[in-house]
Structure 1
Amino acid sequence: MNALPAMPPAEDEALSQAEAAYRQLRDKLIMLDIRPGEPINDGQLATELGFGRTPVREAIKRLEVDHLVVSYPRRGTFATTVDFTELADVSEIRELLEPLAARRAAKRANTAMREELLDVAKAISELAPTPAQSRELMRYDLTVHRLIYRAAANPHLEDTLIRYDNLATRIWCLVLDKVPSVSGHISEHVDLLKAVAEGDADKAGELALHHVTSFEETIRKVL
């Protein structure tokens, strides 16, 4: 089976070791490469990721704030469990903020960003994934959302939405085996990306809201 093509990174800037360690660990937790409840060993992770213990420890502290890891005195640090009862709360926030980000991005994205949005839309439209590649597809979902948040040009909004999208994606990944297909969920991004790139703020907002509400509906059907 051929792997799906990798999406371009959402940011090109040089990262500090602590930031790079944080992003790698964050995505491992989101995509369930580190399973809920699994112990977090900073020495082992430092070796695995090729960083020193200090940046990994800094990353773990940030991940506690993100509610992706939790530390207990004398017990250690663990990946948080996934609480499905949080779905409604997370969705409520995303239903308000995702359309806002999409509308802002449609209005504020620069020319280079609009071209990048269209390039990603084209890449997704050309995908022909198999059911076994559902987890790989979810990486596209993360990339698209983070790209739109960055295009919205509001760092506070971006940070907030990344945090809640991460929690939502983690829930989705936990039920992937129960969902018939995620291809439709990913293909919805094509029209959304085009609307943002073309500056159609109203359509972008509507599509973003639909995307979030359909996500919640799909999850609830399989719970």
Structure 2
Amino acid sequence: MPDTPVIWRDEELSPIRDKVYQYIKQAIVQGVYKSGERIIERELADQLNVSRTPIREALFRLESQGFVKTLPRKGVVVSKLSPEEIIEIFTILSALESLAMKMAAQKADASQREELTQIIQSIDRSLAKNDFAPEDKNYHFEINDVICRAAQSPRLTQMLDGLSDYIRAFATLGYELPGRLRKAMEEHRDLASAVRNGEAELAESLTKIHLENSKRAYLEALEKE
């Protein structure tokens, strides 16, 4: 947990429960809280300068979504997904995201294809460096933002949004494996290129390969924790 107390600006005070919920969830997704780690209400309340009520509400909400669980004599801990659950999530994600990529390749307009070109150029610049910056981990989400708009399917976008936090958590841990971040960036570049060029079948195929590689990286990193 960060040592510096959080200062809430006036515009952030309402509704405070949502701010607390987002703060804790992002801490879990970004790996600040590890699987199995205990979350202590009192410490969080002091850290966030709030009462324990919004903390309890946020933890209850997160438990309903499977991010945390309450254990006897231990309290609230960060959930650890089983390998079977991880495989299930990636299977669903592969089906949805590959469809989105295929639809985007078929429907993207000139503006969206230009956005993808800009992302591809940014990835190439990043790959040319020996060191990667923290923002280099966000290319997947930049591409997905364009893809969801280009696919023109609000329902599909809504379903992918429901998995976005899992995706971020999986990617964060998977990138800890040596060489995985570079490989993922290369995969993202090839995906963006296929969509930009209108190669629908290729985009669909590359998406499935990318997510299979991501799944393997996550499971391998999880075993090493």
Pairwise same-fold verdict (TM > 0.5) = yes
Is it true that 1:204 corresponds to 2:203 in the alignment? Answer: yes
Is it true that 1:31 corresponds to 2:30 in the alignment? Answer: yes
Query: Which string of whole-angstrom CA distances, capped at 9 and with x for unpartnered residues, describes residues 13-39 of structure 1?
Result: xxx766665555433322202222233
Aligned residue pairs total 208
> Following the alignment from structure 1 to structure 2, what is the Cα–Cα distance between the partners of residues 116 and 79?
37
Structure 1 pair 171–191 and aligned structure 2 pair: CA distance change class (3 A): closer
Structure 1 pair 159–111 and aligned structure 2 pair: CA distance change class (3 A): same
> Following the alignment from structure 1 to structure 2, what is the Cα–Cα distance between the partners of residues 201 and 24?
38
Aligned position for 1:138? 137
Aligned position for 2:99? 100
Structure 1 pair 19–218 and aligned structure 2 pair: CA distance change class (3 A): same
Structure 1 pair 184–71 and aligned structure 2 pair: CA distance change class (3 A): same
Structure 1 pair 56–216 and aligned structure 2 pair: CA distance change class (3 A): same
Is this contact kept in 2: 1:106–1:200, CA < 8 A?
yes
> Following the alignment from structure 2 to structure 1, what is the Cα–Cα distance between the partners of residues 42 and 25?
17
Is this contact kept in 2: 1:137–1:183, CA < 8 A?
no
Is this contact kept in 1: 2:103–2:200, CA < 8 A?
yes
The letter for the 2-side match of 1:185 is A
Which structure's CA Rg is the greater one?
2
1:159 to partner: Cα distance:
3.5
1:127 to partner: Cα distance:
0.2
Is this contact kept in 2: 1:113–1:151, CA < 8 A?
yes
Aligned position for 1:120? 119
- 82-91 or 145-154, which deviates more: 145-154
Aligned position for 1:63? 62
Please state whether the residue corresponding to 2:28 is helix, strand or coil: helix
Aligned position for 1:87? 86
> Following the alignment from structure 2 to structure 1, what is the Cα–Cα distance between the partners of residues 155 and 75?
31
Please state whether the residue corresponding to 1:182 is helix, strand or coil: helix
> Following the alignment from structure 2 to structure 1, what is the Cα–Cα distance between the partners of residues 145 and 60?
22
What is the identity percentage for the equivalent residue pairs of Structure 1 and Structure 2?
A: 27
Please state whether the residue corresponding to 1:127 is helix, strand or coil: helix
1:122 to partner: Cα distance:
1.9
Aligned position for 1:159? 158
1:135 to partner: Cα distance:
6.4
Structure 1 pair 208–62 and aligned structure 2 pair: CA distance change class (3 A): farther
- 58-67 or 114-123, which deviates more: 58-67
Structure 1 pair 220–34 and aligned structure 2 pair: CA distance change class (3 A): closer
Structure 1 pair 169–71 and aligned structure 2 pair: CA distance change class (3 A): same
Is this contact kept in 2: 1:134–1:181, CA < 8 A?
no
Q: Which of the pair has the greater relative contact order for Cα pairs under 8 Å at 6+ separation?
A: 1
> Following the alignment from structure 1 to structure 2, what is the Cα–Cα distance between the partners of residues 56 and 147?
34
Structure 1 pair 159–96 and aligned structure 2 pair: CA distance change class (3 A): same
1:82 to partner: Cα distance:
3.9
Query: Which string of whole-angstrom CA distances, capped at 9 and with x for unpartnered residues, describes residues 132-154 of structure 1?
Result: x5865433334433543354333
Query: Which string of whole-angstrom CA distances, capped at 9 and with x for unpartnered residues, describes residues 149-198 of structure 1?
Result: 35433343233324445335434533544444320112211121233234
5+ residue gaps in structure 2?
A: 1-14
Is it true that 1:185 corresponds to 2:184 in the alignment? Answer: yes
Please state whether the residue corresponding to 1:78 is helix, strand or coil: strand
> Following the alignment from structure 1 to structure 2, what is the Cα–Cα distance between the partners of residues 221 and 72?
26
